[in-house]
A and B are shown apart, each in its own frame.
Chain A
Amino acid sequence: MTFSVNLGRERLLRAYRQMKLIREFEERLHVEIATGEIPGFTHLYAGQEAIAVGVCEQLSESDYIVSTHRGHGHCIAKGCDVGGMMKEIYGRKDGLCHGKGGSMHIADMTKGMLGANAIVGGGPPIAVGAAIACKLRGNRFVSVAFGGDGSANQGTVFEAMNMAVVLRVPAIFVLENNGYSEHTGAAYAVGSGDLAGRARGFGMPAERVDGADFHAVYDAMGRAMARAKNGEGPSTIEATITRYYGHFEGDPQNYRAKDEVAKLRVTMDCLKRFRARAEADRSVPLADLDSIDLEAAAIIDAAVRGAKAAAPPVESDLYSDVYIQY
């Protein structure tokens, strides 16, 4: 496996580009949602980018991920087209799911992205199934289940973890502990507060990492990948992090201290952290990061303009794809 010390300039720049693209995507959605033009229920990933990217930079297109209701970051990190994603979120016919899924259900099988999921705890059992397929085929690919601290209280997640251990499949559970299960703090809702410890209880290695540190996530994922590829079975990574926005857009966040997010945007920002490290170890030129910032903004702007101009689905789309044949 590759670890972050071995990442060359191109790979590091790519990782930064992915994180920045997610940040721009989400910050722009926050602005666009306020205009009322985006339908439904949207959960933003801003703040958590280093986790999706740290994990997915270790993966190939043939590895699988299963995501959550807060899935935009995972989709982008796994290589989903941002233009198609934006159209999906706007409910357009040319969206990645033809406008039928929306923000909470973006998927792209060609990228190994088996779907965002609007049911908390719905994903991990599915990820175990994909891991069974990897093991059966002997192809050394892995399957990743993303989830949050909230999902760590669902029985489905425990069942999936135990089964992955019993079947010794290449599954990796990534628990993004952002401190809140919807409007309730993890400090209250997670008994023991130790998500990694829970996973360990099922008999798999589990570690807790700083979710704002791309390098730390990438390296923890490298260790989990090495075990998975060597046939040593599943692992869990608990990444501690925060979310910059509410549970969903429109959430007044009365459960958070007024200045909490402002403070965390200073101390817990994966992009600033990445920059500071680049400045210290000169691994990448800061000017390159500046141009990526501009490039990401332009890509997202084009995606939004494309989505606004795109056509909605038509009546026949309502009836298609319920079955393959009926």
Chain B
Amino acid sequence: MPQITMRDALNQALHQEMAHDERVIVLGEDVSGGAGGTSGTREASGGIFGVTKGLLPRFGEGRVLDTPISESAIVGAAAGAALAGLRPVAEIMFADFVGVCMDQIYNQIAKFRYMFGGKSTCPVVIRMAMGAGMNMGPQHSQAIYSLLTAVPGLKVVIPSNAYDAKGLLIQAIRDDDPVIFFEHKALYPRKGEVPEHDYTVPFGEANLVREGEHVTVVALARMVPFAERAIDALAKEGITCDLIDPRTTSPLDEDTIIESVEGTGRLVIVDESPPRCGMASDIAAIVAQQAFHSLKRPIIQVTPPHTPVPFAPALERLYVPGPPRIEAAIRQAMKDE
């Protein structure tokens, strides 16, 4: 099977779904780029991270829409196009820019179906690059998936590898509900085996990345490869872990997490979103409610501190949870009173 990057896997998914279903359109800032430029090159960008490359030359300007810098209008237009029967894939260049278009996401898109009494479908996908690790500072580095997971009516997807990214994006496009699709910037170059044909990865089904007996580790996005490194290092000492990648936070595969904790009795949750009202505390609450008596040790949350994402590399390195912190947390979970 070919090894490709997560960037290329996402690009493949978009190409295949646009070819497969003519209702699929793509819109966003610089998704092609070059419009109104002086070079005569129409596709000058292909997306700032290259995810939408080749779509405009292949599918044309009717279906690949370069927009002005207008996030509210991008998301609102995607919503309207979806209500009118298209299947738009909107791109918000950086997840932080959700701040500009929050109304369209959480008052409009998320609520249509419910408040219209089930009479509407809004099959929109909103892709956005997220995450720290590239020194882009407080307004270009946030992991805001907890914020949007909290909104009823939205499905929230956070792939950690190329295979899942492709299958989840195709699922997101085919899904009739609105989907927020987070892509971690630092994972775009991460390679993995990806079949050339189209396939879907279902929502609400976690991936058991590692199987072990001592500790359950739950991790998302970039925290998954970091957790793999920590877990593989500890395996040499005989400490083995289940590593669960939920892949979607809404719906969340609670069963896989509960079953694992019932076996291990120890839980470490690794989450790049802020610690307050975050994914880690949400999962901790679910486990505390459903598997309290299985727990042998307190649940450990590995998260950034309750601060914005700092710019300076010296500080950002401390902000992002890395393999050493995950390893220490697993060791702490193994300590008996």
Do A and B interact with each other, yes or no?
yes
**A188 close to B (CB within 8 Å):** yes
**In the bound complex, do residue A151 and residue B139 qualify as a contact, i.e. CB atoms below 8 Å apart?**
no
Task: Across the interface, name the chain B residue whose C-beta is closest to A183.
Answer: B33
**Interface bits A215-229 vs B (CB < 8 Å: 1, else 0):** 000000000000000
**In the bound complex, do residue A121 and residue B69 qualify as a contact, i.e. CB atoms below 8 Å apart?**
yes
**In the bound complex, do residue A181 and residue B69 qualify as a contact, i.e. CB atoms below 8 Å apart?**
yes
CB distance from B243 to the nearest CB of A (A): 27
For the side of the interface on B, what is the size category? 35 or more
Out of B30, B40, B138, name the residue touching A182 (CB < 8 Å).
Answer: B30
Out of B68, B134, B313, name the residue touching A150 (CB < 8 Å).
Answer: B68
**Interface bits A178-197 vs B (CB < 8 Å: 1, else 0):** 00111111111110000000
Chain B residues lying within 8 Å of A312, measured Cβ to Cβ, are 312-315
Give the interface segment out of A20-28, A94-102, A162-170: A94-102
**Interface bits A239-274 vs B (CB < 8 Å: 1, else 0):** 000000000000001111110100000000000000
**Interface bits A96-135 vs B (CB < 8 Å: 1, else 0):** 0101111111000000000001111110000000000000
**Interface bits B65-86 vs A (CB < 8 Å: 1, else 0):** 0111111110000000000000
Out of A105, A182, A183, name the residue touching B139 (CB < 8 Å).
Answer: A105
**B311 close to A (CB within 8 Å):** yes
Chain B residues lying within 8 Å of A183, measured Cβ to Cβ, are 30, 33-34, 37, 44-45, 48
The count of A-to-B residue pairs whose CB atoms sit within 8 angstroms is: 175
B35, B41, B67: residue with the most chain A Cβ atoms closer than 10 Å: B35
**B171 close to A (CB within 8 Å):** no
Q: How far is the CA of A91 from the CA of B138 in the complex (A)?
A: 13
Task: Across the interface, name the chain A residue whose C-beta is closest to B45.
Answer: A183
**In the bound complex, do residue A254 and residue B44 qualify as a contact, i.e. CB atoms below 8 Å apart?**
yes
Chain A residues lying within 8 Å of B314, measured Cβ to Cβ, are 91, 99, 312-314
CB distance from A246 to the nearest CB of B (A): 11
Q: How far is the CA of A105 from the CA of B136 in the complex (A)?
A: 10
**In the bound complex, do residue A102 and residue B68 qualify as a contact, i.e. CB atoms below 8 Å apart?**
no
CB distance from B326 to the nearest CB of A (A): 18
Q: How far is the CA of A183 from the CA of B37 in the complex (A)?
A: 8
Within 8 A of B (CB), among A136-192: 150-151, 153-156, 180-190
Q: How far is the CA of A140 from the CA of B68 in the complex (A)?
A: 36
Q: How far is the CA of A260 from the CA of B41 in the complex (A)?
A: 14
Within 8 A of A (CB), among B254-302: none
**A322 close to B (CB within 8 Å):** yes
**In the bound complex, do residue B307 and residue A40 qualify as a contact, i.e. CB atoms below 8 Å apart?**
no
**In the bound complex, do residue B38 and residue A91 qualify as a contact, i.e. CB atoms below 8 Å apart?**
no
**In the bound complex, do residue B66 and residue A188 qualify as a contact, i.e. CB atoms below 8 Å apart?**
yes
Out of B48, B136, B306, name the residue touching A322 (CB < 8 Å).
Answer: B306
Out of A105, A150, A155, name the residue touching B138 (CB < 8 Å).
Answer: A105
**In the bound complex, do residue A155 and residue B30 qualify as a contact, i.e. CB atoms below 8 Å apart?**
no
**In the bound complex, do residue A255 and residue B39 qualify as a contact, i.e. CB atoms below 8 Å apart?**
yes
CB distance from A250 to the nearest CB of B (A): 11
Chain B residues lying within 8 Å of A104, measured Cβ to Cβ, are 137, 139-140
Q: How far is the CA of A178 from the CA of B166 in the complex (A)?
A: 37
**A288 close to B (CB within 8 Å):** no
Q: How far is the CA of A69 from the CA of B135 in the complex (A)?
A: 15
Chain B residues lying within 8 Å of A190, measured Cβ to Cβ, are 68
Task: Across the interface, name the chain B residue whose C-beta is closest to A188.
Answer: B36
Chain B residues lying within 8 Å of A91, measured Cβ to Cβ, are 135, 311-315
**B324 close to A (CB within 8 Å):** no
**In the bound complex, do residue B137 and residue A102 qualify as a contact, i.e. CB atoms below 8 Å apart?**
yes
**B112 close to A (CB within 8 Å):** no
**B29 close to A (CB within 8 Å):** yes
Task: Across the interface, name the chain A residue whose C-beta is closest to B318.
Answer: A318
CB distance from B185 to the nearest CB of A (A): 11
**A41 close to B (CB within 8 Å):** yes
Out of A92, A118, A255, A317, name the residue touching B38 (CB < 8 Å).
Answer: A255
Out of A92, A101, A156, A255, name the residue touching B137 (CB < 8 Å).
Answer: A101
CB distance from B49 to the nearest CB of A (A): 12
B38, B72, B307, B308: residue with the most chain A Cβ atoms closer than 10 Å: B38
**B251 close to A (CB within 8 Å):** no
Task: Across the interface, name the chain A residue whose C-beta is closest to B307.
Answer: A322
**In the bound complex, do residue B37 and residue A255 qualify as a contact, i.e. CB atoms below 8 Å apart?**
yes
**B305 close to A (CB within 8 Å):** yes
**A39 close to B (CB within 8 Å):** yes
**In the bound complex, do residue B139 and residue A257 qualify as a contact, i.e. CB atoms below 8 Å apart?**
no
CB distance from B80 to the nearest CB of A (A): 16
Chain A residues lying within 8 Å of B319, measured Cβ to Cβ, are 318
**A315 close to B (CB within 8 Å):** yes
Known interface pairs A180-B37, A185-B38; A118-B69 also in contact (CB < 8 Å):
no
Q: How far is the CA of A104 from the CA of B139 in the complex (A)?
A: 9
**In the bound complex, do residue B30 and residue A184 qualify as a contact, i.e. CB atoms below 8 Å apart?**
yes
Residues of chain A whose beta carbon lies under 8 Å from any beta carbon of chain B: 39-41, 91-93, 95, 97, 99-105, 117-122, 150-151, 153-156, 180-190, 253-258, 260, 312-315, 317-319, 322
Known: A41-B134, A318-B307, A319-B307. 12 other contacts (CB 8 A): A91-B315, A92-B312, A118-B137, A183-B30, A183-B34, A185-B36, A253-B44, A254-B41, A255-B34, A255-B39, A255-B44, A258-B39
Show 19 residue pairs from A and B whose CB-CB distance is below 8 angstroms, ordered by the A residue: A41-B136, A91-B313, A100-B310, A103-B137, A105-B139, A118-B137, A118-B139, A153-B68, A155-B73, A180-B37, A181-B29, A183-B44, A183-B45, A185-B34, A255-B33, A255-B44, A256-B37, A318-B307, A318-B318
